[in-house]
Amino acid sequence: MTTVSASVQKYTGIWPVMLTPFDCRGEIDWPSLEKLVEWYLAAGVHGLFADCQSSEMFFLSNKESCQLVRRIVEQVDGRVPVVASGHTASGFSQQVEQLNQMAETGIDGLILISNRLALQAEPDRKMLASLMDLTERLPDRVDLGIYECPWPYKRLLSDETVRWCAQSNRYTFIKDTCCHLPTLRRRLALTHGTRLHLANANSQTLLASWQAGCHAYSGIMANFHPQMYVWLYENWRNQPELAQTVSDYLSTAALAENLDYPACAKYWQQKLGNFSTIHCRVRSSAGFGDSFFPDAIDSMVRLGEGLEQRYPGLLEKTSCV
C-alpha cells in the first residue's frame, strides 16, 4: 500500500497539462512531441498530465490516445511521474474498456473526468454512484485521480465525493478547477492526512491556495512559462515578497489563456522551435495569425522575461519543499 509520505512526494509541484502537436495533415507530430517533453523537463516540472483537455483528448481516437501516452512515458523514462486521462466515452462499458486500456500504458496515475460520470441534469449522488462502480473495475496497480474538466460541461465535485475519494485510499490527484479559495480550503480539510492531493488549475488563486495547504499546480499556463511556476512553488515560503510579485505577474498573464487556446500555446511553442505548426483539432487555427492574439502573447511573455531579468536569481533552483 502506498504511504501518505510517498504520495506527498509524488503528486506535488508543477504538472503541465500537455499539448498535442499536429503536423500540417492533422496527424500527431512525434518529433515535436519529443521536443515538448524535453522542454517541460528542462524547466524542472515535477510531473506531466498527458492526454487531457489541453491535449485535445476528445478529438483523439482511443488508439491515438494510448499511443501518445506510451510515447510520453517511454521518453520520460521515470524522470518524473506521468498521469493521463483519455476518459472521453459516454457509455459506462465503453468507459471501463477505455480506462483499462489507458492503465496499461505505464502511467503512474489514471485520471477520470468528472463530467463523464453523470449527465449535466443528474444529481451528485448519481455521479458518486458511477464513480464507485467505475473505481471497482479499474486495476489497483495504478493510482487514480479526477479532473473537473470544463468541457463539454464543468461538473464540480461535491464534498461527499471528495470525502469518499480521500477515504477510499485509491485516489491521489484532483485537478481542481473550482477557482474558489473557500472551496479549496474546504476540500483541503476533507483530504487532510490522506493520499489525495489537490492540484489547483487556477493561477489567480494559486499562491493563496498553496499558503492554505494545496499541493500542486496543473494548469494551462505551464505551457508558456513553466519555469516561473516551478520557481514560485519552490520558493514562496522563503522569499515571500518576490513570490507575491511573481504571483501577481502569473495571475495577470493567465488571462492570456482566453486568447484562442490551445492555438495561442501552440503559437508560442512554434516560436520556441518546438512545434512545426499551430494546427488544432478542437477548432480551426487558420485565423489565429490574422488576429491581435500573437502580439498579445508576445507582450505577455516579454513582461515575464523582463521580470526574470530584473531578478537574476528567479530561475535558480533553490528548492525548500
Answer whether residue 28 is part of any domain.
yes
Peptide bond before 152: cis, by omega within 30 degrees of 0? yes
Answer whether residue 157 is part of any domain.
yes
CA distance 70 to 112: 18
Domain hosting residue 207, numbered range: 4-225
Position 112 scores a pLDDT of 98
Answer whether residue 133 is part of any domain.
yes
Answer whether residue 270 is part of any domain.
no
Answer whether residue 63 is part of any domain.
yes
Answer whether residue 120 is part of any domain.
yes
Question: In the β-sheet with 13-14, what is the strand arrangement from edge to edge?
Answer: 13-14, 216-217, 197-200, 171-176, 143-147, 109-113, 82-84, 48-50
What is the domain count for the chain? 1
Answer whether residue 166 is part of any domain.
yes
Question: How does pLDDT run across 249-296, given as a tens digit for each residue?
Answer: 999 999 999 999 999 999 999 999 999 999 999 999 989 999 999 999
C-alpha cell at position 231 = 520557481
Position 312 scores a pLDDT of 76
With a threshold of 0.85, does the pTM exceed it? yes
Answer whether residue 204 is part of any domain.
yes
CATH number of the structural domain spanning residue 68 = 3.20.20.70
pLDDT along the chain (321 residues), means of 10: 52 98 97 98 98 98 98 98 98 98 98 98 98 98 98 98 97 98 98 97 98 97 97 96 97 96 98 98 93 96 93 58 37
